[in-house]
Structure 1
Amino acid sequence: MTNKSSDYKRVFNHFDEDNNGMISSLELHRRLGMICGEEILIEDVEFVVESVQSDGELRFDDFYRLVESEEEDEKIEDLRKAFRMYEMDGSDCITPMSLNRMLSRLGESRSVDECVGMIRQFDLNGDGVLNFDEFKAMML
């Protein structure tokens, strides 16, 4: 079991209050409420659990997939923030000029022609700019 898996297993066991090898919506609701320090609607918790497991209880594999998907969502949001920093001019893509400006701000001096070459390496559709999907592929 990897370190990440064993960490998830410890959390899973903490949430599994009755030690039956499954986390019920109620158990998840109570633990999330304690962790978050704010009221979470049981209906929201039930919806999440049922979206992963139709019988209303999470086994370890279900819990692992759920947590992994949440982490993936966070990574994507972080990438969107980074993309917006490079995109700069509202075009919803990274142009050679916007890449040049951002690299200059980061202390890396590159010519616009060098930026064209850098973009070309990851420009999957050949339009001369990077859209978010191309940026994401480059970063992951």
Structure 2
Amino acid sequence: MIKSSDYKRVFDHFDIDGNGMISPSELQHGVGLIWNEEILLEEVEVVVESTQGNNRQLGFEDFVSLMESEKEDEKLEDLRKAFRMYEMDGTDCITPKSLNRMLNRLDEFRSVDECAGMISRFDLNGDGVLNFDEFKQMML
């Protein structure tokens, strides 16, 4: 878990002019250093405006919110990757059979009926399978 002091250190590093705010150009520079590639100023401006409206600069709290939302996006993408590992039938859901196959690959041997029971605990709409939203609820 990232501590507030870690965010503050990064914020201060990005705040090149030391005015307590991060401008789009300062954010562009900082992100470019982290990613080791150039990012367009227009892209950064869109991110800043979506976070801060017309102020066009990020205060510390805005910066933390932006970083936290990025972490949430990463977490959601990781969940999507995990879901796709279990969803092997191309049905866009985890079936008892696909859960059984994945568990067998992980040396967790369960019958298809046991897998159906496992799914039923998290199957919110009662259709016998897990869609991504149900999987997400289960994992969070």
Which stretch has the larger CA shift, 117-126 or 32-41?
32-41
Structure 1 partner of 2:16:
17
What amino acid is the match of 2:132? F
User: Normalising by structure 1, what TM-score?
Assistant: 0.95
Establish whether residue 129 from structure 1 lines up as the match of residue 129 from structure 2: yes
Task: Write the mapping of 1:25-36 to structure 2, written as runs, cut at 5 A.
Answer: 25-36=24-35
Q: What CA deviation, in whole Å up to 9, does each residue of 1:14-52 have, x standing for no partner?
A: 111111111011111111222222221111111110110
Report deviation, 1:71: 0.7
What amino acid is the match of 1:4? K
Aligned mates of 2:130, 2:32 — CA distance in 1: 41
Report deviation, 1:3: 5.1
Structure 1 partner of 2:105:
105
Structure 1 partner of 2:94:
94
Structure 2 partner of 1:66:
66
Report deviation, 1:7: 1.0
Structure 1 partner of 2:4:
5
Quick one: structure 1 residues 86 and 3, their matched pair in 2 at CA, closer, same or farther if it must change by over 3 Å? closer
What RMSD, in angstroms, separates the aligned Cα atoms of the two structures? 1.2
Q: In the comparison of the two structures, how many residue pairs are matched?
A: 139
Percent sequence identity is 73
What amino acid is the match of 1:34? L
Please state whether the residue corresponding to 1:22 is helix, strand or coil: coil
What amino acid is the match of 1:122? F
Structure 1 partner of 2:45:
46
Q: What CA deviation, in whole Å up to 9, does each residue of 1:99-137 have, x standing for no partner?
A: 000000000010111111100000000100000000000
